[in-house]
Amino acid sequence: MRRDGADRPDPRLAEARLLSVGWTDRRRFPRWPLRQAVLHQHPARLRDGTAWRPEEDLLALAQRVFDDLAQDHALGSFAQSDLLRRVPDFVERLLDSAAEPALPVLARDDLQARAGFVAESLQRLGQMQEAAAIGFAEVALAQTRLNSLLQRAGRPSQPLPPRGRVCIVMPPGETEMIGTILKADLLRLAGLSCG
């Protein structure tokens, strides 16, 4: 709706794109696929059902749309790559204070591979925390070490042209700041201005 109260959609929304959908429900971590999906890609989801139960329906809708996006992402080439198989060992090294983890060469040199590798590493940390295998402090330290590795990896040799702007919104009460910083840095590397 427009601010002036007129009963017509705001034309700026036609240009909006959704980068990822996720929620925190017992620490379910989103995959944060770094790809664009047009907002109206799932219009049927918005019209499902005749009885509207706001809280239940919105959560169910968010879960279905998120799962669709995550599945689309999982079917990409990264899912079959050798990098995906390296994630568990890499995460273990992030968690081991005596180890010196290193980004795989492909994740250092290729931005798309780097984004996929980081997203999978963050998801693995989230799954381990949800399973009570590690605590919040361990996740935060691992994310800090990962951020340090990314900072040392630097930017691509050929800077990407500006591709637009992105607004990152955290839900009320969310405390996942380090993970958000990691994801924002990857978006900036991809040529997007983050706010």
Q: In this predicted model, what pLDDT tens digit does every residue of 90-136 receive, in sequence order?
A: 999 999 999 999 998 888 877 777 877 887 888 889 889 888 899 88
Q: Is residue 109, in this structure, part of any structural domain at all?
A: yes
Q: Is residue 6, in this structure, part of any structural domain at all?
A: no
Segment 9-16 mean pLDDT:
56
Residue 1 pLDDT level (bands cut at 50, 70, 90): very low
Q: Is residue 44, in this structure, part of any structural domain at all?
A: yes
Q: Is residue 144, in this structure, part of any structural domain at all?
A: yes
Segment 171-187 mean pLDDT:
72
The pLDDT of residue 108: 82
Q: Is residue 1, in this structure, part of any structural domain at all?
A: no
Contacts 24+ apart (CB under 8 A), 34-37: 34/112, 34/115, 34/116, 34/119, 34/183, 34/186, 34/187, 34/190, 35/72, 35/73, 35/76, 37/69, 37/72
Segment 15-38 mean pLDDT:
41
Q: Residues 195, 177, 128, 64: what is their CA dihedral angle, to the nearest 10 degrees?
A: -40
DSSP 8-state secondary structure symbol assigned to residue 39: G
Q: Is residue 36, in this structure, part of any structural domain at all?
A: yes
- Most confident range, picked from 18-27, 40-49, 56-65, 177-186: 177-186
Let me know: does 16 contact 9? Beta carbons within 8 Å.
no
Looking at every residue in the chain, the average pLDDT score rounds to: 69
pLDDT at 29 over 50: no
The pLDDT of residue 184: 78
Q: Is residue 71, in this structure, part of any structural domain at all?
A: yes
pLDDT tens digit sequence for 49-64: 555 566 666 666 666 6
Q: What number of residues does the chain have?
A: 195
The pLDDT of residue 114: 82
The pLDDT of residue 146: 92
Per the structure, how many domains does the chain have?
Answer: 1
Structural domain containing residue 105: 11-155+163-194
Q: Is residue 69, in this structure, part of any structural domain at all?
A: yes
